[in-house]
Amino acid sequence: ESLLFTRVNKDTQSLPVSVEDWERQAREILPDGPFDYIAGGSGAEETLASNRTAFSKWAIVPRMMRDVTNRTMGITLFNQSLRTPIMLAPVGMQAIAHPEGELATARAAKEAGVPLVVSTVSAHPMERIAEVMGDAPRWFQLYWSNDREVSASMVKRAEAAGYSAIVLTVDTIMLGWKRRDFRNGYSPLREGKGMANYITDPVLCSRLTEVTAENVVEEILKNIYHPALNWNDIAFLREQTSLPILVKGILHPDDARLAVEYGVDGIIVSNHGGRQMDGAISTLEALPAIAKVVAGKIPVLLDSGVRTGADVVKAIALGANAVMIGRPFLFGLAVAGEKGVASVLDTLIHELDVAMALSGSNSVADLNESILVRV
């Protein structure tokens, strides 16, 4: 009660209170190119849409009279205690949303105690983002390079800069087919927005005859197309780091089984927010079969379409250990920089707290399928 009361009276009244509102404001501020790049999906955007409808196909059946006074949203992931089961998904090139890009996001994440996953194609070097975060929790997301010494170098830099897990994104062996970007003639990579980690990488630079922006972009594009990626590459990655390794972009239960077999430490059920394989299954629909196969052996995270506290409850009840958000915080960043990301997180965390209380749940461990029905 007091929490809701303070919120209504805070100076937050002028800030949006829903992801839809943030998106509307971002639409007004950003030019078509960046806005469509952020908001859009691939192909006919069927997967983008189904990531949302999947959540409305499940309804919460709340439990009553369970004394939820001392409830907690806390979880433990890879021996790290986290305040909530919410993380910020790796999003590259954040300078297209706001000039401060990842640095503003990093400050907000640190303040909220929410882990940030930094992308290989971040607009600022990973070491600079790490500086902003101090000892706040952060992971590094790796885009595999054809030149695997470049991958090795990035992973070692991340470990040295205090990142505590490596997320290998496996659904982006080439870029998804994005009609909106074709229409707008827009490519943030071509514009040089996601080069920071490459241009500062000693191995990548050693491959260039001359370090010019143009040469670096060409080298990145060569590396971003990496269709040869396969499960044996996990062993190479394992040799480079002692950090936990997660694979991001798993949708098939057989791949989840292989991830466990190949000794991966965690799975992120993701379709890249509907930006890669259009027509792919929504993540919430993919989750139960994957959770069943994994059977608690390693953590299972989910992203793509999470927008509200109730969404978080549903994903966890269906077997996720935690969730990540992408576009919601990016819309906040576009509209209000650090303050926007902070507000998006604050809203989502409060929504989750209320949703847990009103569904009769005292802890994340309490959330299971018994409070869900298919509608």
Task: Return residues touching ligand FNR (CB under 6 A).
Answer: 37-38, 51, 89-92, 119, 121, 141, 169, 248, 270, 272-273, 275, 303-306, 325-327, 330
Q: Is 119 annotated as a binding residue?
A: yes
Q: Is 257 annotated as a binding residue?
A: no
Question: In which element (H, E) is residue 279 found?
Answer: none
189 forms beta bridges with none
- Whichever of 166 and 317 has its CB closer to ligand FNR, that residue is 166
Q: Is 94 annotated as a binding residue?
A: no
- Whichever of 138 and 272 has its CB closer to ligand FNR, that residue is 272
**Distance between CA 310 and CA 295 in Å, rounded?**
24
Residue of this chain nearest to ligand FNR (CB atom): 326
Q: Which two tokens stand for residue 70?
A: 């001392």
Residue with tokens 């994104």: 169
Alpha helices (H) along 118-165: 126-133, 148-160
**Distance between CA 203 and CA 18 in Å, rounded?**
43
Q: Is 143 annotated as a binding residue?
A: yes
Nearby residues of 346 by Cβ (< 8 Å), 6 or more positions away: 12, 112
Q: How far is the CB of 168 from ligand FNR (least distance, A)?
A: 9
Q: Which two tokens stand for residue 57?
A: 């196909």
Q: Which two tokens stand for residue 83?
A: 């305040």
- Whichever of 138 and 248 has its CB closer to ligand FNR, that residue is 248
- Whichever of 101 and 360 has its CB closer to ligand FNR, that residue is 101
CB 67 within 8 A of CB 303: no
- Whichever of 98 and 275 has its CB closer to ligand FNR, that residue is 275
DSSP per position, 21-45: HHHHHHHHHS-HHHHHHHH--STTS
269 forms beta bridges with 250, 302
Q: How far is the CB of 79 from ligand FNR (least distance, A)?
A: 23
**Distance between CA 185 and CA 182 in Å, rounded?**
5
Nearby residues of 65 by Cβ (< 8 Å), 6 or more positions away: 360
Q: How far is the CB of 249 from ligand FNR (least distance, A)?
A: 7
- Whichever of 33 and 319 has its CB closer to ligand FNR, that residue is 33
Q: Is 169 annotated as a binding residue?
A: yes
CB 308 within 8 A of CB 331: no
- Whichever of 143 and 319 has its CB closer to ligand FNR, that residue is 143
The strand ranges marked E within 153-196 are 166-169
**Distance between CA 166 and CA 155 in Å, rounded?**
7
Q: Which two tokens stand for residue 159?
A: 């470990």
Q: Is 327 annotated as a binding residue?
A: yes
Active site residue 252: no
Q: How far is the CB of 185 from ligand FNR (least distance, A)?
A: 17
Q: How far is the CB of 209 from ligand FNR (least distance, A)?
A: 27
Q: Is 305 annotated as a binding residue?
A: yes
Q: How far is the CB of 274 from ligand FNR (least distance, A)?
A: 7
Which is catalytic among the residues 98, 124, 226, 272? 272
First-residue to last-residue Cα distance in the chain: 31
Q: How far is the CB of 121 from ligand FNR (least distance, A)?
A: 5
Q: Is 137 annotated as a binding residue?
A: no
Burial of 167 (0-12, 13-18, 19+ CB in 10 A): buried
Q: HSE on the CB side for 165, CA within 13 Å?
A: 26
Which parts are annotated binding residues? 37, 90-92, 119, 141, 143, 169, 248, 270, 272, 275, 303-307, 326-327
Catalytic residues: 272
Which parts are annotated binding residues for glyoxylate? 37, 143, 272, 275
Which parts are annotated binding residues for FMN? 90-92, 119, 141, 169, 248, 270, 303-307, 326-327
